[in-house]
Amino acid sequence: MTTTIPTLDESIERMKQEIIEDIKEGRVPADCPSFSALHDYVDANCYGGFCEDDEIQALTNHFGGLDKDEGMPDALIGYLNDAQNSIDLWIKEGGIQQLA
């Protein structure tokens, strides 16, 4: 099975939807103030499918594979950081309240 590589915008949208689901299911409070605060309730690093083996492997390969020390490629780390920073800004600008 081939995993389609999501664009950054697609990953961000998936993350938003998963956060909203967690709020609706009571895992995360609707007044959560930031991305980092999500970690008080869930492993927020997993939003966007980033803890799914197929998804992270496809992204790792897409961004050049593991480095010599078996670490994530720098471009993938940048991608993940960009996604998380976007979600942090979205939360701080009231995005959760607009969708929840």
Nearest CA-CA partner of 4 in 61, 75, 44, 51: 61
Q: Write the DSSP assignment of 15-44 as a string of letters.
A: HHHHHHHHHHTTSS-TT--SHHHHTTTS-G
> Backbone phi, then psi, for 29, in 5-degree steps?
-75, 145
Tokens 């869930």 sit on residue: 42
What 8-state DSSP symbol labels residue 52?
Answer: S
Write down the pTM of the prediction. 0.90
- The 10s digit of each residue's pLDDT in 44-62 is 999 999 999 999 999 999 9
Nearest CA-CA partner of 13 in 100, 63, 89, 87: 87
Average pLDDT over residues 94-100: 76
Locate the domains of the chain by residue range.
8-99
